[in-house]
Amino acid sequence: MAKKTPEKKSIPAQQENDKTTKLESFVADSTGEFLTTNHGLRINDDQNSLKAGERGATLLEDFILREKITHFDHERIPERIVHARGSAAHGVFKVYEDMSELTRAAFLCDPGAETPVFVRFSTVAGSRGSSDLARDVRGFAVKFYTQEGNFDLVGNNMPVFFIQDAVKFPDLVHAVKPEPDNEMPQAASAHDTFWDFISQMPESSHMIMWAMSDRALPRSYRMMEGFGVHTFRFVNAKGVASFVKFHWKPLLGVHSVAWDEAQNISGKDPDFHRRDLWDAIEAGAFPEWELGVQIVPESDEFKFEFDLLDPTKLIPEELVPVQRIGKMILNRNPDNFFAETEQVAFHVGHVVPGIDFTNDPLLQGRLFSYTDTQLIRLGGPNFHEIPINRPVVPVHNNQRDGHMRQTINRGKTSYGPNAIAANDPQQAKVADGGFVSYNERIDAKKIRARSRSFFDHFSQARLFFNSQSDPEKNHIIDALSFELGKVKAIEIRERMLAVLAQIDKGLATEVAYALGLHIPEIPLAELNNSIPADGERADYASTNPESSLAKSDALSMAGTIKDTIKTRKIAILAADGVEEKSLSKVKDTLVAEGAVVHIIAPKLGEIISKGDKKITVDESFLTAASVLYDAVYVPGGVNSVATLEAEANAIHFLNEAFKHCKAIAADEGALQVLESTYFFKKLTAEYTEETVLREGVIVSADVNLLTDTFVKMIAMHRFWERENPRKIPA
């Protein structure tokens, strides 16, 4: 007898494929719930790490901080959680003079020594596949391979940070990353979660001014400053310490692109910064920075209006000048992107004798976070054995085995003290170069709190804004209007307007007008929502004193170096019949000054000059764009001029260059090309030298005068004053 097949129960297709129903038991809804650890412990204070006193060191005992950061560090594999998209290069560093009076760091005490370096630049928020031109902070990390071990100066192109305490770092990055429900937007901060967080963290106000400024849109990695961000210590051989802030000053000056230009570049060449760095080094135009330091004696720790340990504050250069103590040159590209750029592991805790830490609570948290991150990203505890991470000096210790171990350790012992191997490897005395932590006295109670000296959240944000030129201020206003215009929740926009009003009423008014809103009346004491559950608002409220400095010239890019056109990219628009003298004189002069010149024509291949000379074309209008160049020149030649005048792409190229405030030059024989542009109608003044310097456009029959003036115009980088009164469609 055949076995009866059991009847199959019918399941409605909708229910069978309903993934939502199947996942419901795994869904967590935090609405109306208390904040807890991963093990269910209710958290009373998620805003401050546990410290030895309000200004004291962060304690390893802080299990809440460790759990939170450990979980955060392991959320992505294998891509970096932040700074995922980067570019790097090898180079060398030399100190100018012996710094032993301040520090016993050997590489800073021997002007004859040349220290190898590996430098990685990066965006912060986006993934590896995002664009180089996102509005973002840029990482600026330098690994010094010294004779005393590796020293990593892990910084950014902005001198301050969003938060004061490392316990808030996971929250900051979660807020700025794509929103978790839809994974949008990529590499952008213009969305609700970021501004929701920022509007409730007034300590972020100073950094927001920097992030909304032109510093967030560098022209090149080679043309941006770098900062150590934190206050560190120099310690000399006598054990005397000084506070130190690190700066990198680019010898090409500090320059940016326009916001509209950045968006276009992202479409035309999302690798713009990476390509720029690579091409410059390959061409032998090695990028250079000077290392600067601001030194504060320990006796002056409390003489400032701000706290030196607050990472949301800088030391204005008017109060403590930057001493330039050495030069770094990047002179070699990596051989393999993955093996070097991707696998390099920086750590703020990699220091050498003579350099030590302070109790900056953000720095203290980073000391834990970096090693923890590398453990998962690079496969285990032996990431230091990857070639790019290896120091140039031998490594000897009792740490053994582990995933991907490469060292073959001889001997019977892997512990100390030991008698079997005569205590080898032995501890090093200070005289032998042994590292000794600075002997700082600590006498305080364990407490989750923040020093009152950290509660000034607006004075330096105001100082930064007031220090900007008018075009720079306009760019900040436009950036805030754009970012907040993308925020959907009106209450977030209004709360942020109240924060901006604490910085500058005029700034807030301009942004409010663009958003079609009024500035709400929110008392200063109610702006800070990062308050512990048992905290009184009066104890944790933001303060807003006036700075004794009205402005700081060093905070504006307007006064940067403008005396060179080295490595600037210049486009020469030409076609068959171009006047050879008109083209070659300008090109040869620009190249001699260190610029990169590309001939751009209607098609690739070659063009034939008026004198029947073949001229190689570098790019066509199809493959090139004005946003990829710093300036434009149009040579003469009847046929060439006629072709360009009829070429819509050539006219658009010029209009767009003008819109982005770039220098434009034309032979007088090419005047009709300029007359076909939209911007030419806007120019009514005669082409005098005064007009050229103001408007950034020159037309001349005198090729020598034109060339000399054009070089000076390019060196000025941009004519930002033209931006608003000369707005054109392009």
Which residues carry a binding-site annotation for heme? 80, 120, 169, 366, 370, 377
Compute how many other C-beta atoms are within 10 angstroms of the C-beta atom of residue 60.
11
Catalytic residue among 156, 382, 528, 655: 156
- Annotated binding-site members: 80, 120, 169, 366, 370, 377
Which of 557, 564, 87, 20 is CA-nearest to residue 279? 87
Distance in angstroms (rounded) separating the CA atoms of residues 168 and 180 = 18
Eight-class DSSP state of 716:
T
Query: Is 83 an annotated catalytic residue?
Result: yes
Query: Is 156 an annotated catalytic residue?
Result: yes
Residue with tokens 């076609």: 575
Q: Are 344 and 384 in contact (CB under 8 A)?
A: no
* Residue 533 structure tokens: 């559950």
Sign of CA dihedral 197, 202, 207, 211: positive
Q: Are 224 and 533 in contact (CB under 8 A)?
A: no
Eight-class DSSP state of 705:
H
End-to-end CA distance of the chain: 85
Spatial CB neighbours of 364, under 8 Å, sequence gap ≥ 6: 49, 57, 58, 166, 357
Distance in angstroms (rounded) separating the CA atoms of residues 166 and 114 = 35
Catalytic residue among 48, 83, 157, 466: 83
Eight-class DSSP state of 142:
E
Distance in angstroms (rounded) separating the CA atoms of residues 427 and 418 = 12
Distance in angstroms (rounded) separating the CA atoms of residues 687 and 682 = 13
142: β partners: 119, 153
Q: Are 189 and 174 in contact (CB under 8 A)?
A: no
Find the helix or strand (DSSP H, E) in which 327 lies. Answer: strand 323-332
Distance in angstroms (rounded) separating the CA atoms of residues 474 and 480 = 10
Catalytic positions, written as ranges: 83, 156
